[in-house]
Every structure is written in structure tokens, then in C-alpha cells.
Structure 1
Amino acid sequence: MNDGRESSAGRLLALIGEHRATIREALDDEQHALLLARLAALTEVASTDDKAIRRALQGVRLALLPLPLDHPVRVALDSVRLVAAPPGPTAVAGARELLALLSSPPPSPGPEATTAQDRLLLAQALSAEEARARCGGAAPPPELIRLPDPQGRDRYPEFQFTAGGGDPYEVVLEVNRLLLADIDPRGAAAWWLSGNTWLGGTPVSFLGQLPDQRLVGAATALVEGD
């Protein structure tokens, strides 16, 4: 019987859902993006592949270690056994439900709730119509970072597009896909605009300057926890 083991995995996922607001506050943007990526990886595992499920659950557990030691989820980590035996397919189904919950878009922020980073990005952003024009008249791909302005209208930070009115950088689409920009656009934006020790500077400053695979490698290192 796997019931106890399944409840251990289910307990962890339930705790994440219950405390999702304080988890988001406690983790920085990169750490939260990594947690989402690890949950997404769990949803893609075959429900009959016990070894892969154990490995993916351990990835979720590791992504939660930066939480404060007194956070309820962090306190529970040591008592939730994930690797002793196959946790069962309920973990995969639970991860899908949890990822959908964490991915629910927040309400459009009012001017007082807009962060300084959002204001910077929105000041140098394209409207939905302008982004569509840059994409050859097609709908902007979901991999592009999309933020709401104070009126709730979609805006696309311009750094994602090549200079001179060009189309989106292919490497931006690839990296944003790794960072789950469609789920956590602010986390993806923070990665592009924050210092990166792997690259030795902010990733956005290297667009068109470094080989694309260097940028992809830096994003992969974050997602895989290297």
C-alpha cells in the first residue's frame, strides 16, 4: 500500500497551496521561478514512472529550502518523506492542480501597487498592437513577458525585441520558455534585469553581444539548480 507515502507527497503540495501567498513573499523572483519550474517538471512526469516522480518531488523540495526556517512549509520539509518509496500518481495530479493555482494571474495593479521595476518596464514597453506589428501581424507569442499597465492593458517590455523595430529575439523566447514567463512574467523580467554571476552582469545587457547559448545556459543553470 502506498497510502501513507502518497499522503506525504500530497501533504507537501497541500501546504504549498495553503501558504502560497507567504511563499511568494519569502522567495525572491528567481527562487519563485525555480519553484514553478520544478512543479511544471513534476506535471510532465508519467504517472506510472515512480522513479521520475520521486526525483521531481525532490526537486520541488529543494526549491523550497530557501524559505525561512520558521515558515510552516520549511518546518514540514524534514518530516515529509519523499524518497523512501514511490509516492504514487496522485503527486502528479496534485502538482497540476497546484501549478494552476499558483499560475492564476493576480489582479491588475493600481498605480500604488506597481513596483519600481514594473514602472521601468512599462515606460519602455510596447502596446499589444505594437507588439503584434513587431511579430509580423500575428499575435505575440506567449513566451514574451507581458505585464498589465495600471489600466489593465497588456504591455510588452521592449528589450525583448531586436533594435530598429525588429521582431522578438529568438533567444528571449527560448529563455522565457525556460523561465515560465507566461506563468510568472515578473520573475522572468527580474532574471533579465538582475545581476547574474554566471554571466558577470545583467542578462539583458548581453542580448546581441554574447552567443545565444550562453544566455540559455545561464537560464538553464537557474532552472536546474546548478
Structure 2
Amino acid sequence: MACRILRKPHYRIEEVCRRWETPDADLAGLVIERELTLSVVAAGVPVEVGDIEQVDERDWFPIPEGRRYLIGAVDLRPLDAWYALTAGVQTITAFAAEPGRYVTILGQGDEPGRYTVTRDLLVVRHAELERFEAAQARLQQGAAPAPALAAASAAAGSAPRGPVPQYEWDAFWCEVAAMMLFEGPPESLAALVRRMEAWFAGRPKQPDSSTIKKKLSPLWRRVAPEAERLSA
């Protein structure tokens, strides 16, 4: 007995264009304007995932959480998806991630990881297809966008540039400066790390010891000679 597939996990670009009766150019416009998310079918792509920590307006660094292999449909960043759709190919170094997070492709040795996305690999996930069609149905009925979409649009227009810091680094550095001024430098970097770990214990979120050490190491290299002189 023949089996008819009633639901697919994702749909190729040609299927989507036929279903919506729209050309590639219109689809590309939706993608670049972040109204539609495209994905790519990945087969065992090695990636590193983690948090992004903002130091200031320009500087940030990753806090790795772990490594994994991606299998299945993975969302693309809008610009990467737009290039793959319009130019037919795009080499990427990362996938789309939640705000304050990253998903970067792992390479070999010191070489950055890269993955080539071709147009024939682009898909629209089933959930994204349903979300977009529901939004279009509301527009046809003259209704306002869904609250989640409206909130996301408002947030995108008013949010500051760059990821939001996960930890209270401004207050952290104020505490370090006050401690150095009033108490003097500690006897070692390890003691300084322990001191700031104790300070973070009273905050809503605490980074791990390696992250605190990474933050404090450049400062300690600068003050270590004076600390050694005072302890002698």
C-alpha cells in the first residue's frame, strides 16, 4: 500500500516559491529584511557553541560551552542566506544563534572553519513555513502582526548595538579598582581571582573561574611587580 507523506520537516526553495506563487527576488527580499528565515541541511558539521561576552561597544570575546555536530536543518544568518539565494553560493563561518550566543564552525588546527552553502541546500523549516503563512494570513485579514513578531521588531529597532553583557562587568571593574585603591594589590593572581569570585557570588549571575582569570590576567601582569615589591 502506497504511503503519502503528510508532513515534511523542511521544504526546498522551489517548493516554497511554487506554494506561495512568488519569485526568488521576492523571497530574497523577505530574507534580507528578516521576515523569513532560511536554513541549510547540514550533515555532521562540527561547531563550537557558547555565550558572547561584551567588554565594551567594540570588543567582545566568546565563552565556549562545548562542541557538537550539527545534523539536519540549521538556521542561517540573514546576510549569508541572502547571498546563497541570490548568488547561488556562500561560504559561511557561523550559523544563526540566539541573542548573546554563538555557533561557529570548527576548522583544522589554526585554520577557521568554513562551510559552503549552495542554493540547492537551502530550505525553509516546517515550523518557519507555518509561522510565516500565519503572519501573512493575519495581514490579509487586516490584523496586526503577532505579538511576538511585533515585540521582536520593536526590540530590533531600539536595541543598542552588540550583544547585551551577560555579567556585570562594569560593576566588576569598579570593585577591582576600589579594592586596589583601598586594600592594595593581593599577593597573587589566584588570590585576586578568589576575591572576585566571592564578589560575583552575591550577583544574579556568576561566570566561571577561567573567565574571571582571563579578565584579570592583563591587569595582574601590570600590577604584579608592585605587588611583589610590597610583599617583600
Task: Pick the TM interval, shorter chain.
Answer: under 0.3
**Structure with more of its chain in helix, by fraction:** 1
Of structures 1 and 2, the one scoring higher in RCO (CA 8 A, sep 6+) is 1
**Structure with more of its chain in strand, by fraction:** 2
Q: Which has the larger radius of gyration?
A: 2
